[in-house]
Amino acid sequence: MLRALSEAGFSDTRARRAVVQALSESRTGATPADLLTRGRSLHAGLGQVTVYRTLEILEHLGLVRKLHQEDGCSSYATSSAGHAHHVICRTCRAAVEFEGCRIEEVLHEASARTGYKVESHFLELFGVCPACRRKK
């Protein structure tokens, strides 16, 4: 992730590195507030603005995906290069990426019925993760 950032022309500051590290350590996705707390343990001078700026850049580069939790909060999770979506646990909020979205049929159907030229989609799945299922 750091290399992609510097290849895109963004300087590799210690603060930015702390955000990237905090993000890659969180397997479940993290809110900007989580990242600020975790990032500060790595680099005391980290500020909120840097967290948001770094997330914005990473999202733009397709390295993280902004997740919209059901309670209206957003969190961020690392994402692979290809087209993929996340499935999010309702209990612990852990987010896992899955590839292979076969939504074309739905898009064609929507186009056919509305006359819109559908260009993109936004899809998140919610459920209960294996760890939380075991606990029940």
Comparing C-alpha atoms, which of 118, 121, 6 is closest to residue 61? 6
CA-CA distance, 98 to 40, in Å (whole number)? Answer: 30
Per-residue CA distances from 96 to 44, 53, 75, 92, 118 (Å):
29, 24, 13, 12, 26
Q: Does 74 bind Zn ion (CB under 5 A)?
A: no
> Shortest distance, CB of residue 29 to Zn ion, whole angstroms?
11
x-marked contacts with Zn ion along 92-121 as a string, rule CB under 5 A: x-x------x--------------------
Cα angle, residue 61 at apex, residues 86 and 88 outer, rounded to 5°: 10
- The nearer residue to Zn ion, 21 or 59, going by C-beta atoms, is 59
Under 8 Å between Cβ of 124 and 88: yes
Under 8 Å between Cβ of 13 and 20: no
Q: Does 44 bind Zn ion (CB under 5 A)?
A: no
> Shortest distance, CB of residue 11 to Zn ion, whole angstroms?
33
- The nearer residue to Zn ion, 57 or 84, going by C-beta atoms, is 84
Q: Does 91 bind Zn ion (CB under 5 A)?
A: yes
Question: Which region among 4-12, 25-33, 61-69, 86-94 touches Zn ion (by CB under 5 A)?
Answer: 86-94
Q: Pick from 5, 20, 89, 95: which binds Zn ion (CB under 5 A)? A: 89
